[in-house]
Amino acid sequence: MPWFVPADLRDLFWHAGYDRPELYFDPEFRFGISAFREHCPDEELYTGLERLRTDLDTGHWYVLRRAADTSGSDYCFFVADSV
């Protein structure tokens, strides 16, 4: 069954900024995401945020977002059962 991340999602996890990329500029939002908090060196983070800012300012991000095919779903869940 397809599952799409709602645009007004309140449980702010990594994918919550999928259609709201400005969330990634908020340090509190990033702190709640372990991948940013524990695994992303500061230099890499700030380089990525600069690139995101440029892409948003130039409109390139919106072109890429429209081109992304999410017609199937945003997430895929697997259920595994041991035998």
pLDDT single digits (tens) 61-74: 999 888 876 666 66
40-44, 48-52, 76-80: range with lowest mean pLDDT: 76-80
> Could you identify the residue written with the tokens 């440029």?
54
Secondary structure (DSSP) of 14-70 = GGGGSS-GGGGG-HHHHHT-HHHHHH--HHHHHHHHHHHHHHHHHTHHHHHHHHS--
Residue-level pLDDT at 25: 95
Record the pTM. 0.71
4-32 residue pLDDT tens: 776 676 666 677 777 889 999 999 989 88
Residues 49/42, Cβ–Cβ less than 8 Å: no
Q: How confident is the model at residue 36 (pLDDT cuts 50, 70, 90)?
A: confident
Cα separation, 77 vs 65, whole angstroms: 22
